[in-house]
Amino acid sequence: MPRNRPARRNDEPLADSGDSLLTFRDDEALGYCLRRAQVSVFQEFLSTFEDVSLRPVEYSILTLVHDNPGRKQIEISDVLGIKRANFVPIIDGLEARELVERRPSAEDRRANALYLTRAGLKFTLAVRKRHEALETELTLRLGGPAKRAELLELLRLLS
Amino acid sequence: MPRNRPARRNDEPLADSGDSLLTFRDDEALGYCLRRAQVSVFQEFLSTFEDVSLRPVEYSILTLVHDNPGRKQIEISDVLGIKRANFVPIIDGLEARELVERRPSAEDRRANALYLTRAGLKFTLAVRKRHEALETELTLRLGGPAKRAELLELLRLLS
DNA sequence: TATTGTTATACTCTATAACTATA
DNA sequence: TATAGTTATAGAGTATAACAATA
C-alpha cells in the first residue's frame, strides 16, 4: 500500500488550513504498520537486486534449491506457500535464464527434480552475499542484532 | 506468500528420508518474516470482518473519512498510498453500499468531498470497536502493550 | 484413487496514459 | 499550465478447475 507521511501524533487537533495533515488512527494499527514496513523492505530488496532482475520469490527459490538440491517442484513451492500451478511459470523463467534445471526425478517419474546450474550456483552465492549486506544494513537501522532478533521473535508470534 | 512449516533450526542437517523438512534460510530473513506476519494478520482481519465484507483498505478509508470529513478523494487516497485512478472503484463500492457519500466540494468544483452517511457512521463505529478487539487479541499474543509498542517502534524504523 | 506438473482462466492489486472539467 | 476525478488498460500476484502421466 503505502509510502507514507511523516508520523504525527493522533491526539493533535486537525488544523483548518486547506493542506493540513489528516488525522490517521491506522498509523498505530498493527496490520497497517506491518504492511507498510513489509512493502518498504520489499521495495528495498527490489532496488538492491534491480540490476540482476531478481524478485524476492526468485531469491527464496534459488537459496532453497541450493540448500536442498534435487527436490520436487511441489516440495519447494509448498515451503513458500505458492500454488503448484503458479510455480510453473516462475521456474520457467529461472530455467530460461539457465539458473535452475528441471531433471526427471529418479524415484517418481511424474516429478521434476530441481537443481542449480553451474551459473545458477555462482549467481546464488553472489546474491546471497548481497542479501547478507542488505540484512546488515537493516539490522543497523533497527539498532543492532539484538533489536533484529527481538523483531523476528515478535513477528513469529503473529505468523 | 506463506502459511508455513513449523520453525526449525537452519543448522540442523537435512535428513535423507523422502518427506523430510527442507532447510530454509529465509525463515530468518527480515523481509520474508515481515511478509509472513503481514499476510497472517491481514488474513485474520479478513476473517474477522468477513460477515460485513470489509477489506483492510475499506476500513482505513472509513476511519479516515470519519476523522476527516469533507476531504477530497485525492487527500484520502494520498494518505493510503493509493493511486487516484485505483481509488475510484473503491469509493464506488462504499458509495453503492451507502456508507460513504461524494458531495461536490464548495471550494473546488473539480473535487469530490467525502463524508460518511448516517449508516456509514454507525457501521464505522461498530467495526472500529471490533478492530480494537482484534488489536487487543494481537497485543495479548505479543505479550502485552509494551511488546506491541516495541514492535511498532521497530516497524517504523523500517518504513 | 491420489498426486505431479501443466494449461487455462479469473479475480484482485497496482501502475500508466489519456480524457474532462475545472483551477 | 496544472490538478481532480474518471476511464481504459496492462502487469503482477493469487486462486480454482481440469487434463495427462504416473503412483
Beta-carbon contacts below 8 Å between A and B? 170
Which CA distances in Å does B99 have to A150, B54, B66, B93? 41, 12, 11, 9
- List beta partners, residue B116: B100
Mean pLDDT of B17-46: 91
Q: What is the mean pLDDT of residues A90-112?
A: 97
Q: For an interface test with A, which of B32, B74, B150 has the most A Cβ atoms less than 10 Å from its Cβ?
A: B32
Note whether A139 and A153 are same-domain residues: yes
What is the C-alpha separation between A79 and B132, in angstroms, rounded? 33
pLDDT at residue A2 is higher than 60: no
Interchain CB contact of B88 with A (< 8 Å) = no
Residue A139: name the closest of A153, A128, A129, A150 by CA. A150
Mean pLDDT to the nearest integer, A99-128: 98
Residues A40-84: tens digit of each pLDDT: 999 999 999 999 999 999 999 999 999 999 999 999 999 999 999
The residues pairing with A47 across neighbouring beta strands, listed in sequence order, are none
B82-122 pLDDT, tens digit per residue, is 999 999 999 999 999 999 999 999 999 999 999 999 999 99
Helices (H), A49-144: 56-67, 73-80, 84-96, 118-142
Per-residue exposure over A130-139, b if at least 16 CB sit within 10 Å of its own CB, e if not: ebeebeeebb
pLDDT band at B152 (very low <50, low <70, confident <90, very high): very high
- CA A31/CA B125 separation, integer angstroms: 19
Distance A103 CA to C4 C1' (A): 13
pLDDT of res. A20: 80
Residues B74, B6 share a domain: no
Predicted confidence (pLDDT) at residue A21 exceeds the cutoff of 60: yes
Q: Which residue has the cell 489528516?
A: A22
pLDDT at B39 exceeding the cut of 90: yes
Indicate whether A71 and A39 sit together in one domain: no
Last residue of a domain, one of B48, B65, B82: B48
Inter-residue contact B123 to B100 (CB < 8 Å):
no
What is the rounded CA–CA span in Å between residue A42 and residue B111? 34
**What average pLDDT is seen over chain A?**
90
Mean pLDDT (chain B) is 90
Q: Same domain for B31 and B68?
A: no
- Mean pLDDT (whole number) for B37-59: 97
Same domain, B55 and B43: no
Asked whether residue B31 carries a pLDDT value surpassing 80, the answer given is yes
Q: Is it the case that residue A138 has pLDDT exceeding 60?
A: yes
- CATH number at A146 reads 1.10.10.10
A8-17, A106-115, B64-73: range with lowest mean pLDDT: A8-17
Helix (H/G/I), strand (E/B), else coil: B81: coil
A94, pLDDT greater than 60: yes
Partner residues linked to A104 by β-bridges? A112
Count of domains for chain B: 2
Domain C-terminal end among A48, A64, A79: A48
Which residue of B lies nearest to A43 if distances are taken between CA atoms? B31
Q: Are B122 and A122 in contact (CB under 8 A)?
A: no
Angle (CA) A90-A92-A95 rounded to 5° is 110
Residues B7 and B69 in one domain: no
- Check if the beta carbon of residue B39 is closer than 8 Å to that of residue A42: no
CB–CB of B64 and A26 under 8 A?
Answer: yes
- Cell numbers representing residue A62 in the block: 534459488
Same-domain status, B85 and B116: yes
Q: Same domain, yes or no, for A68 and A37?
A: no
pLDDT above 70 (res B3): no
The pTM assigned to this predicted structure is: 0.89
The per-residue pLDDT for B19 is 60
Q: Report DSSP state, residue B127.
A: H
Provide the residue type at B76 as one letter: I
B140 and B124 in a common domain: yes
Residues 6+ apart with CB under 8 A from B83: B77
**Spacing of C-alpha B56 from chain mean position:** 4
pLDDT value, residue B114: 98
Does B130 contact chain A (CB < 8 Å)?
no
Q: Domain range spanning residue A19? A: 1-48
Q: A9: which 3 cell numbers? A: 501524533
The verdict on A89 and A146 lying in the same domain is yes
With 70 as the cut, is the pLDDT of residue B127 above it?
yes
Indicate if A66 and A139 belong to the same structural domain.
Answer: yes
Same domain, B135 and B78: yes
Q: Which of B26, B60, B142 sits opposite A26 (nearest CB)?
A: B60
CB-based contact, A17 to chain B, within 8 Å: no
CA distance A158 to A138: 20
CB B35 within 8 A of CB A57: no
Q: How far is CA A69 from CA A30, A55, B134, in A?
A: 38, 20, 42
Rounded Cα distance between A10 and A22, Å, is 9
CB-count exposure of residue A152 (10 Å: 0-12, 13-18, 19+): middle
**pLDDT number for residue B6:** 36
